[in-house]
Amino acid sequence: MSEIVYSTTVTAVGELVPDFAEQGVLVFFGQNAPAELHEFSIIHTPDVQIRAPQVGDRITLAQNTYNVLAVGSVASDNLLNLGHLDLKANGLTEPEMPGDVNVEAVSLPVVKIGDRLTVISQP
């Protein structure tokens, strides 16, 4: 049975986020992120933190759904401890960097304050 294993609400969107999204990358950080990271980051507040994404999970963001294809070796610790997630829409099944979470090579949405990111486990 599918289960929500991580869920968070966007509280701020840096002015460079749309430029990063056009390149297929969304960078998330928790509320305690240093100010110098805010310009290119999506700041969020989680309400469910059972675990981070795993290969085969689905991520929903701004009413779009993505399949998780690869997860870097530190992505779980980064998300659960720092609220940090590098979501890359590159279609790769191997992460390029240890913190990457890869999904299909598709257009990423324009993210707004109040949008939710949810990780859903798949049976």
Residue 123 has pLDDT above 90, yes or no: no
Contact 19, 108 (CB under 8 A): no
Domain range enclosing 15: 3-121
Tens-digit pLDDT profile for residues 88-122: 999 999 999 999 999 999 999 999 999 999 999 98
Mean pLDDT, rounded, of the chain? 97
What is the domain-level CATH number for residue 115?
Answer: 2.40.33.40
Number of domains in the chain: 1
Contact 122, 56 (CB under 8 A): yes
Q: pLDDT at position 1, please?
A: 86
Contact 69, 105 (CB under 8 A): no
| Residues acting as catalytic residues | 44
Which one-letter DSSP state was computed for residue 91? Answer: -
